[in-house]
Amino acid sequence: MFRHLKKAAFGAAALLAATAVVSGAQAQSYPEKPVTLIIPYGAGGASDLAGRALAETARPYLGDQPVVVVNQPGNSGMTGARVVSESDADGYTLLLSRVGMALYPAVYADSPVGWDAYSFLGILEVTPMILAVNADSDIKSVDDLLTKIRENQGRMTYAASGPTAIDGFTVQALLSDAGLDPLSAATLIPYEGGGQLASAVLGGHVDFLAIASASLMPHIEAGKMRALMVYAPKRMPNLPDVPTAKELGYELAGQVSGWSGFYGPKNLPADVRAKWTEVLGKVAVDEQWLSLAEKRGAVSVIGEDEPNAYVESQFKLYNDMAKKFGYIQ
């Protein structure tokens, strides 16, 4: 249902690309070879799915030069992010970013990459997070889950990439809102990538999780998982009976959401920026991109936000949250 909502949204960006002060020769020279798109997380997660969708959709608009997807997980996404930030600023090594690229530096002063260590090419999509349990669980609601957490004093477990990853903050924000200790009320079991996280719940290895919808919707639709709550501004169309965190009165959790961005190294040349402005303008209204986004429960937002300001606001949100939770003294 989202695929027709963006056709007017990118008009200004398309006009900007069309009038960019770049010579015809420059604009046509890039790309002259395949572009590498680094995915800083494992296969099967929200970043991987978004990156592969972008690579597939963008190719016809790049003179049929392929976008080669490379998964480079590690250190909560910062390993892949560092590879891109330290690459040559020629437009041939780019990053499918996630909220972690703003969140990690917001928590760790010694982050290997700062939140602003990039050229920001665009914010691609917003991806709601879903709080879910195995369909065989006796937990039917958020209240049921919180009751069990209170009764079991740290013995309830959840899967997340790490305590300061977005899927750790989803749970910790909820626990904090419920008056529980966000770091000890439930026990985090670490896994890498959305596929492994989902498998942990499906296999009964953990009690619950709250991760990106892209990794959970196939299992929810197959009846193997039960969604309890969504972290999104409004209810998801394909989960109309599942309330949002904000509806349930959870203040911090109501501000959490996943998103995908598109970055390059600092100081990308003007012709590279202009080319990607043009390409993203076409991707924004491409039926394939919109259909794939809808399929994984994401909402395309290409061209709707100034990326630098958006990422800075996300950095501030999680920096404030990290102070509240005690990660920063």
Predicted local distance difference test score (pLDDT) of residue 6: 41
pLDDT at 265 over 50: yes
Contact residues for 200 (Cβ-Cβ < 8 A; gap 6+): 159, 189, 191, 206, 209
pLDDT at 132 over 70: yes
Residue 60 or 16, more confident:
60
What whole-number distance in Å separates Cα of residue 48 and Cα of residue 10?
24
What whole-number distance in Å separates Cα of residue 247 and Cα of residue 178?
14
Query: 179: pLDDT confidence band, cut at 50, 70 and 90?
Result: very high
Query: 76: pLDDT confidence band, cut at 50, 70 and 90?
Result: confident
Predicted local distance difference test score (pLDDT) of residue 43: 86
Inter-residue contact 82 to 163 (CB < 8 Å): no
pLDDT at 11 over 50: no
Query: 1: pLDDT confidence band, cut at 50, 70 and 90?
Result: very low
Name the strands in the sheet holding 258-265, side by side, starting at the edge strand that comes first in the sequence: 67-71, 35-39, 93-98, 258-265, 118-127, 299-300
pLDDT at 139 over 90: yes
Instruction: Output the CA–CA distances (angstroms, integers) from residue 184 to 106, 109, 150, 233, in the order listed.
Output: 21, 23, 11, 28
Predicted local distance difference test score (pLDDT) of residue 302: 96
pLDDT at 282 over 80: yes
| Predicted structure pTM score | 0.81
DSSP-assigned letters across all residues of 196-263: HHHHHHHTTSSSEEEEEHHHHHHHHHTTSEEEEEEESSS--TT-TTSPBTTTTT-TTGGG--EEEEEE
- Give residue-wise pLDDT tens across range 55-71: 999 999 999 999 999 99
Task: Tell me which of 17-21, 59-63, 131-135, 239-243 is least confident.
Answer: 17-21
Domains of the chain plus CATH, in order, are 11-127+257-325 (3.40.190.150), 129-255 (3.40.190.10)
Query: 227: pLDDT confidence band, cut at 50, 70 and 90?
Result: very high
Query: 329: pLDDT confidence band, cut at 50, 70 and 90?
Result: confident
